């Protein structure tokens, strides 16, 4: 095992979601503006920050990557990427890539986990009864009295829904909305939580890379091959048409071990992408599988912890 300072080529890909103050939504997705700004300044001072396209080329060639190469990525396409992160990046000319799901861009609606989190946090109901397919006993009841219970209920329901085909999930979301006293058709964030095409176009024109992240943000292995192909190609073509530039990078929605496999990697390649990111922790060395790149999940943490997280990722992979 090699420790700090080992002089080997590697690419660290940072994974962000949201920048700003946590409102409704998973707190772990947020990095404050102050911390983000400090992190960017630190990266520009201590690392070689590359555009993702450039990094993929260097990773393939290997010998020119260096040991301090870093790429910044943002998943999903939250509006705060434009309002909070973009001004900080633009001011410093810092490259970054946003993996945007296209359905929220088209409809303005929040992604389902964001809405689910809101329902669990804001409901007046004191418990929820979950319908679980295939079980004979009474459905489990999740209490919703304390904040902790509500958060726990959110994660339990989310993990139940992630690996369902989109149609099943929509039916279940409707049932959950009803039992928690909400209208499943409403967007509790008034269509203000996700990026618009105009914002994406402005960032793209300013040099921010835009990558694919499917249309509806499903866990892809839960879908049929046809549905998968549609999610991969239609989202790619739509972004290319709207931004008038090629989309060559992809990030698997959720990105865990159960959210992609070799068959999907081949489909992503066939769809015309040149590289794809998972959410598995680690750094990427020359020769790494370009369709299963590892990332480092950035949390809202002070600079010394952030700096250590970057260093330790090189010797602690999942």
Interface residue list for Zn ion (CB under 5 A): 75-76, 253
Minimum gap (Å) between residue 253 Cβ and Zn ion: 5
Cβ-based nearer residue to Zn ion, 76 or 103: 76
Report DSSP letters for 101-120, one per residue.
Answer: -HHHHHH-PPPHHHHHHHHH
Cβ-based nearer residue to Zn ion, 259 or 265: 259
Mode of pairing for the β-strands spanning 127-129 and 141-143? antiparallel
Token digits of residue 15: 């994974």
Cβ-based nearer residue to Zn ion, 128 or 162: 162
Minimum gap (Å) between residue 75 Cβ and Zn ion: 4
Tell me the residue nearest to Zn ion as measured from the CB. Answer: 75
Distance CA 222, CA 225 (A): 9
Cβ-based nearer residue to Zn ion, 117 or 314: 117
Minimum gap (Å) between residue 286 Cβ and Zn ion: 27
Closest residue by Cα to residue 24 from 114, 142, 97, 143: 114
Q: Are the beta carbons of 253 and 214 closer than 8 angstroms?
A: yes
Cβ-based nearer residue to Zn ion, 75 or 80: 75
Minimum gap (Å) between residue 233 Cβ and Zn ion: 18
Q: Are the beta carbons of 92 and 66 closer than 8 angstroms?
A: no
Minimum gap (Å) between residue 30 Cβ and Zn ion: 14
Closest residue by Cα to residue 301 from 31, 18, 20: 31
Token digits of residue 162: 């992630």
Closest residue by Cα to residue 32 from 302, 296, 281, 254: 302
């Amino acid at each position: 095992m090699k420790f700090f300072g080992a002089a080997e080529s590697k690419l660290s890909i940072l994974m962000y979601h949201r920048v700003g103050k946590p409102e409704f939504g998973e707190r772990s997705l947020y990095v404050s503006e102050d911390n983000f700004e400090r992190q960017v300044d630190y990266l520009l001072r201590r690392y070689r920050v590359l555009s993702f396209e450039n990094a993929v080329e260097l990773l393939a060639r290997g010998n020119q990557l260096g040991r301090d190469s870093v790429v910044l990525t943002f998943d999903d396409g939250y509006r705060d990427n434009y309002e909070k992160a973009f001004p900080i990046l633009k001011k410093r000319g810092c490259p970054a890539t946003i993996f945007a799901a296209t359905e929220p861009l088209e409809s303005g609606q929040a992604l389902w986990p964001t809405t689910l989190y809101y329902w669990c946090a804001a409901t007046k109901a004191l418990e929820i009864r979950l319908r679980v397919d295939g079980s004979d006993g009474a459905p489990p009841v999740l209490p919703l009295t304390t904040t902790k219970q509500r958060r726990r209920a959110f994660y339990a329901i989310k993990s139940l829904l992630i690996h369902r085909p989109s149609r099943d999930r929509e039916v279940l979301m409707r049932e959950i909305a009803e039992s928690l006293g909400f209208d499943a058709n409403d967007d509790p964030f008034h269509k203000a939580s996700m990026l618009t095409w105009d914002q994406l176009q402005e960032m793209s024109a300013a040099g921010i890379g835009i990558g694919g992240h499917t249309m509806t943000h499903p866990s892809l292995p839960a879908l049929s091959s046809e549905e998968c192909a549609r999610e991969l190609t239609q989202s790619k073509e739509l972004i290319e048409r709207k931004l008038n530039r090629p989309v060559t990078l992809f990030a698997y929605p959720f990105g865990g071990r159960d959210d992609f496999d070799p068959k999907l990697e081949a489909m992503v390649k066939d769809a015309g992408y040149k590289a794809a990111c998972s959410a598995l922790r680690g750094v990427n060395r020359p020769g790494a599988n370009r369709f299963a790149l590892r990332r480092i999940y950035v949390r809202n943490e002070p600079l010394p912890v952030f700096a250590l997280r970057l260093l330790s990722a090189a010797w602690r992979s999942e």
